[in-house]
């Protein structure tokens, strides 16, 4: 399926992640029915009656008009204001149990790949190691418990996978229900 969606540097495949889906719904911002609709988070003090098309996300019009953000800026430390702006206001967010946030590497925001389980994560040992370190930091000191949690990803806890837009290394954080 080739789809002519706008390109999102920090969320290159929003169809795979489920943040954008095929739909006949019209966009709450431009009113057009583009065949695609955004399904994940948007934070705004204004009431928004409906959802947005990918184009109103990409050009920033949805975020401007409703003075909102698709993603909280939490975690986006050490990136330029332009990157911060692009991730929070011109990039589709994603579905997560906790408030979604972006990981940073090489002073740039990572590209969101998607929610993954242990098998996919195991292909990226560096991301797996990072998750192990996070779990230990969260007070999980029993190694067998750490491994048990990791191998049972998908069961009360999942991992959000990113890829560094600069060096290509994979990064992940754990999302728990
Ligand atoms: Zn629109
Ligand atoms: Zn990097």
Q: How far is the CA of 109 from the centre of ligand 1 (A)?
A: 25
90-103: b or e for each residue (b if 16 or more CB lie within 10 Å)? bbbbbebeeebbbb
Q: Which residue has the tokens 């067998």?
A: 144
Q: How far is the CA of 157 from the centre of ligand 1 (A)?
A: 33
- Dist. CA 115–CA 161, nearest whole Å: 6
Span 25-76, pLDDT tens digits: 999 999 999 999 999 999 999 999 999 999 999 999 999 999 999 998 988 9
- Ligand in closest contact with the CA of 66: 1
Secondary structure, 3-state, 132-160: HHHHHHCCCCCHHHHHHHHHCCCCCEEEE
- Ligand in closest contact with the CA of 65: 1
Strand order in the sheet with 108-116: 104-105, 108-116, 157-164, 170-176
Q: How far is the CA of 60 from the centre of ligand 2 (A)?
A: 26
Q: Is the distance from CB of 19 to CB of 95 less than 8 angstroms?
A: yes
Spell out which residues have Cβ within 5 A of ligand 1, the ion. Answer: 27, 29-30, 53, 56
Q: How far is the CA of 167 from the centre of ligand 2 (A)?
A: 4
Joined together, the tokens standing for residue 177 give 């229900």
pLDDT bucket at 153, cuts 50 / 70 / 90: confident
Joined together, the tokens standing for residue 167 give 């060096």
pTM of the model: 0.91
Task: State the number of CA atoms in the 13 A half-sphere of 108 facing the CB.
Answer: 14
Q: Is the distance from CB of 68 to CB of 44 less than 8 angstroms?
A: yes
- Dist. CA 6–CA 135, nearest whole Å: 36
Look at residue 165 and tell me whether its pLDDT is greater than 90.
Answer: yes
In the predicted model, what is the mean pLDDT of the chain? 93
Q: How far is the CA of 45 from the centre of ligand 2 (A)?
A: 34
Joined together, the tokens standing for residue 43 give 């934070």
């Amino acid at each position: 399926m080739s789809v002519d969606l706008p390109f999102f540097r920090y969320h290159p495949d929003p169809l795979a992640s489920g943040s954008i889906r095929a739909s006949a719904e019209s966009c709450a911002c431009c009113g057009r029915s583009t065949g695609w609709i955004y399904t994940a988070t948007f934070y705004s003090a204004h009431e928004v009656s409906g959802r947005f098309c990918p184009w109103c996300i990409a050009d920033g019009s949805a975020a401007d008009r409703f003075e909102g953000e698709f993603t909280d800026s939490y975690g986006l430390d050490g990136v330029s204001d332009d990157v911060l702006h692009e991730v929070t206001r011109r990039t589709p967010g994603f579905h997560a149990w906790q408030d979604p946030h972006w990981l940073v590497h090489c002073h740039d925001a990572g590209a969101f790949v998607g929610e993954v389980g242990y098998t996919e994560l195991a292909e990226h040992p560096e991301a797996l190691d990072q998750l192990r370190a996070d779990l230990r930091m969260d007070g999980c000191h029993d190694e067998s418990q750490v491994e048990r949690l990791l191998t049972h990803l998908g069961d009360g806890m999942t991992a959000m996978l990113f890829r560094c837009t600069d060096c290509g290394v994979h990064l992940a954080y754990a999302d728990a229900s």
